[in-house]
Amino acid sequence: MDIAINHICAPGLPLEEFFAMVKRLGSCKVEIRNDIPDTVNTHQPGDVRRAAEAAGVEILSINALYPFNVWSGDLPERAVAMADYAAACGAKALVLCPLNDGTPVPEADTTDALKALAPILRERGLTGLVEPLGFPVSSMRKKATAIACIKAAGGEDVYKLMHDTFHHHLAGETEFFPEMTGLVHISGVVDPEVAVEDMLDAHRILVDGKDRLENIPQIRRLIDLGYTGPFSFEPFSEDHWSLPAPEAALKDSIAYVTEAVATAEA
């Protein structure tokens, strides 16, 4: 497995320390964010690029442009600013998340948004990672929907899917699209009391043997179908963020996941 680490795994670590931790964990691929922690609005892109180069890490993406599928208001301006930042800091992609407040968004509007965003990404050599959110209130829950909109927008050259194991499970998805997948986010839920339809980001921790999201079968299936890209660890729970030793927890989770995937039945 090609392991990557999202900065949300250790949001209390300054950027340089986060990069150093990633290297100690045996990875060289990272994702930075514009929320928790907010690297984009607190660091100059040139400083981020220099820190990444000094540490020997590759910035896979910036999380995230939201809501990418409502192309109005200040979204076009924010899209350009984030794309400029990504290009300047050396990031390869922008994560694109759909509106997630219960408001429906027609597929035609999502397609139009992808059409409008595509030249911004192309001009800067970036990929757009379209991430369906499996929450019941999400305006785009399924990867098949995302693919249909990408194709309708003529964007196969510039867009890829973000396969998120949490959202895949919440949406009840069974289809995998390895040839369209550019990155995979992995996180687990172990709380035995919460119903699937009530799972929230606050429930997402690192994957271990008590995981309810079927991370190992999902990862195994993607690999067996030909996916060769990175798997990025992305826990959202404040319980994880408050851990006194996030590096040790990550080391344990990486070891569990890689061993479980290696020994899982194809």
Over residues 51-81, the pLDDT tens digits come to: 999 999 999 999 999 999 999 999 999 999 9
Reading phi first (left if > 0) and then psi (alpha if -120 to 50, else beta), residue 2 is in: beta
Report pLDDT digits (tens) over 96-105: 999 999 999 9
Higher-scoring residue by pLDDT: 265, 40: 40
Res. 246: pLDDT tops 70:
yes
Is-cis flag, bond preceding 244, omega within 30?
Answer: no
The domains of the chain, with CATH numbers, are 2-263 (3.20.20.150)
- pLDDT-derived band at 82, boundaries 50, 70, 90: very high
Q: Are 234 and 9 in contact (CB under 8 A)?
A: yes
Strand ranges (DSSP E) for 142-262?
159-164, 181-186, 230-233
User: Closest Cα partner for 31 from 47, 44, 48?
Assistant: 48
Average pLDDT (159-184) is: 98
Structure tokens, 224: 């067996």
Q: Are 205 and 165 in contact (CB under 8 A)?
A: no
Percent of the chain with pLDDT over 90: 97
pTM exceeding 0.75 = yes
Report pLDDT digits (tens) over 87-125: 999 999 999 999 999 999 999 999 999 999 999 999 999
User: Closest Cα partner for 135 from 186, 197, 185?
Assistant: 197
Q: Please give the pLDDT value at position 266.
A: 62
